[in-house]
C-alpha cells in the first residue's frame, strides 16, 4: 500500500502549481516517518492522525502519546526540545492532542514542522 501512496503523490505533484500551498490530510495508516519525509520532499505540509503508541521525547524519557492525553496538560518545557531526534527512524514534528470526556479515544494529530 505504501508504494501506491507514494506513486499517487508522485503523479499528482507535477500537476500542482509551484505557488499553490499543499496540505495533505490523512488518517493514521499514513503516520509513518517514511511518509512524512516523502511529503517533505515535495515541500508539502501535512496533518496526519497518529496512533496512541507513538512516543514523544520528554526531558528525561520517551513517553507514549496515549498517556499524555489521559493526564493534566503538560507544559512544553516538560515535553523536551523542539526538533531533537532520538534515533534512526525518529522525526521532529509538531503534535496536537484533542481529548475530551465525551469521546472514548483522544485524537493525536501529527503536524509537519513547517
Output the pLDDT for position 85. 47
* Per-residue burial over 9-24, b = 16 or more CB atoms within 10 Å of its CB, e = otherwise: beeeeeeeeeeeeeeb
Output the pLDDT for position 93. 76
Q: Which helix (H) or strand (E) holds 96?
A: strand 94-98
Scan for cell 483522544, then name that residue: 106
Q: Which helix (H) or strand (E) holds 86?
A: none
Per-residue pLDDT of 12-57, as tens digits, reads: 888 887 778 889 898 888 888 888 888 888 888 999 888 777 777 7
Per-residue pLDDT of 61-96, as tens digits, reads: 777 777 776 666 655 555 544 444 445 567 777 777
Range of 51's domain? 2-111
Identify the three-state secondary structure at position 67: helix
> Hey, what's the cell of 16?
500542482
pTM value?
A: 0.70
Output the pLDDT for position 77. 53
> Hey, what's the cell of 84?
531533537
Tally the domains of the chain. Answer: 1
Amino acid at each position: 500500500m505504501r508504494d501506491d501512496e507514494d506513486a499517487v503523490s508522485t503523479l499528482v505533484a507535477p500537476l500542482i502549481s509551484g505557488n499553490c500551498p499543499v496540505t495533505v490530510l490523512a488518517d493514521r495508516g499514513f503516520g509513518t516517518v517514511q511518509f512524512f519525509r516523502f511529503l517533505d520532499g515535495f515541500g508539502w505540509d501535512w496533518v496526519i492522525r497518529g496512533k496512541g503508541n507513538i512516543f514523544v521525547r520528554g526531558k528525561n524519557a520517551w513517553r507514549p502519546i496515549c498517556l499524555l492525553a489521559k493526564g493534566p496538560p503538560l507544559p512544553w518545557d516538560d515535553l523536551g526540545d523542539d526538533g531533537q531526534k532520538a534515533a534512526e527512524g525518529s522525526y521532529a514534528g509538531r503534535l496536537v492532542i484533542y481529548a475530551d470526556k465525551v469521546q472514548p479515544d483522544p485524537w493525536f494529530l501529527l503536524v509537519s514542522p513547517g
